[in-house]
Amino acid sequence: MTPEMDRLAADGMVLNRHYDTTPICTASRANIVTGLYEYRTGTNFEHGQMSPLIFSKSCPVLMRKAGYFTGFFGKDLALG
């Protein structure tokens, strides 16, 4: 890791394990950013996009509200 990531880990919390409840890729990413089960986020093959209400309570949004600079890169989370 980098010195900045090491500092961030030392000042915060490191989660060494993550268990996902679904093999569906978009639903898995939604699990990671929300901490919710796939059926709670609504992101799956039948329902598609995550609702704005669910996303508004996700980790990236809460971190931004707490003053962190957040960004988006990589795969789409099927956000509304």
Which string of b and e fits 45-66 if b means at least 16 CB within 10 Å?
eeeebbeeebbeebeeeeeeee
Mean pLDDT of 35-40: 87
Q: What letter represents residue 36's amino acid?
A: L
Which pLDDT value is given to residue 5?
84
Query: How far are the Cα atoms of 21, 24, 26, 29, 60 from residue 45, in angstroms, in the given order?
Result: 15, 8, 9, 14, 23
- Confidence band for 66, pLDDT divided at 50, 70 and 90: very high
Mean pLDDT of 24-50: 83
Q: Note the pTM of the prediction, 2 decimals.
A: 0.65
CB 43 within 8 A of CB 26: yes
